[in-house]
Amino acid sequence: MGLPMSLNLLRKTGYRLTVHSRTACKARAVLAEGATWADSPADLAEQAEVIFICVTDTPDVQKVLFGQDGLIRSARKGTIIVDHSTISPTATRQFAKTLASAGIDLIDAPVSGGDVGARQATLSIMCGGSKPAFDRVEPLLKQMGQTVTYTGPSGNGQLTKLVNQILVLETLLAVSEAMIFAKKSGLDLSTTLEAVGAGAARSWQLQMLGPKMIQGDFSPGFMVDLAAKDLGLVVEFARQNHIKLPVIRWVQKLYQRLQRMGCGKEGTQALFKVVEQMQSMKPGSDTHPPDQI
């Protein structure tokens, strides 16, 4: 995600861009177009007024911000850090508080739209943090995303992304079950998809991932491992705040099953495999939603 997003910034803004990646070879394309390499986040911070982060999980962001060579070591007062990772809202709020004490603003700005949206600059970007800081970086965000929304104080961007993930992943379970129902009922899956996709059942998951399920194409746009990570964030925040979400807990169990099956690097449409596998399970097997609702 970070590579096409940085390329869009470089190509569209005319600003000087400095980059760092934990895996240096991943930055080759953007370096070839004129970006400058920094040996560490701290080195990068010395050269930047606005810093964008796009890594995997909460501990990764914490290390980039506060590790031995973290951004806080050399970021100047007035710097804005924009975090595009999907991480814990609670941790985000603590990170923002720590950075604010050093005069640095943190905007949590997770994205939705997948690798295609990153390449085409059509991402939906959900932003939390200081409104003045958001106003400063909004023009840059619009070079990477089609819909850029300010959602309120720090952490709200992450919470909005988790709402997005609930909608996406629960809908994907519905698509998987619908396709299995059609298959087991003897329907032609392509014809069924064409029929229901024109009505009220239409969704991005049905239109984009339904055909991949039919074709047995489980290549990743968004990986199972990342979906499982995001579901963990949802379930943990819900637990901490006494929010009952029985269906999303069930979806989490299914993605964990996929990981145990060795499908963690496949696309989220691999959920179809689990639902299909369940058809051969004996009654009483672990196929029912959690009892504690």
Q: Are 255 and 228 in contact (CB under 8 A)?
A: yes
Residue 4 and residue 52 in contact, taking contact as beta carbons nearer than 8 Å: no
CA distance 54 to 7: 13
User: Residue 154, exposed/middle/buried by CB under 10 A (0-12, 13-18, 19+)?
Assistant: buried
Task: Provide the residue type at 160 as one letter.
Answer: T
Catalytic residues: 161
Distance CA 67, CA 88 (A): 18
C-alpha distances in Å from residue 152, one per residue of 105, 157, 159, 290: 14, 8, 10, 33
d(CA 36, CA 211): 41
C-alpha Rg value of the chain to the nearest Å = 21
What is the DSSP annotation of 40-74? SHHHHHTT-SEEEE--SSHHHHHHHHHSTT-GGGT
